[in-house]
Amino acid sequence: MSALINDAAPFRWIQSASPRAQLYQRNSVRRIDVPQRGLRAWAARRRLRLALRDLADDKHLLADIGLTREEALDEAAKPFWR
């Protein structure tokens, strides 16, 4: 259902006292979301490296992803933040 608005008087733009405030809009969600994305990336990287370490014993699976045992173990040995 849609409505046609004939009178736009109730919809006035709110002007800020500071001209600089008009250029930047703060977003509180972004400040919270950025650290969470980093933590999720670290957790995912850790899980992938643990899985890669487990794959290092199977030559056939490593051949499927194109890695040698040494390459897989080197990658799995890296810390999660790198």
- Categorize the per-residue pLDDT at 21 as very low, low, confident or very high, splitting at 50, 70 and 90: low
Over residues 7-20, the mean pLDDT reads 60
Alpha-carbon span 80 to 76, nearest angstrom: 9
Kindly report the pTM of this predicted structure.
0.53
Higher-confidence residue of 16 and 51: namely: 51
**Considering just the CA atoms, what is the radius of gyration of the chain in Å?**
26
pLDDT tens digit sequence for 40-60: 999 999 999 999 999 988 889
Q: Where do the structural domains in the chain lie, given as residue ranges?
A: 32-77
Higher-confidence residue of 49 and 3: namely: 49
Alpha-carbon span 11 to 52, nearest angstrom: 57
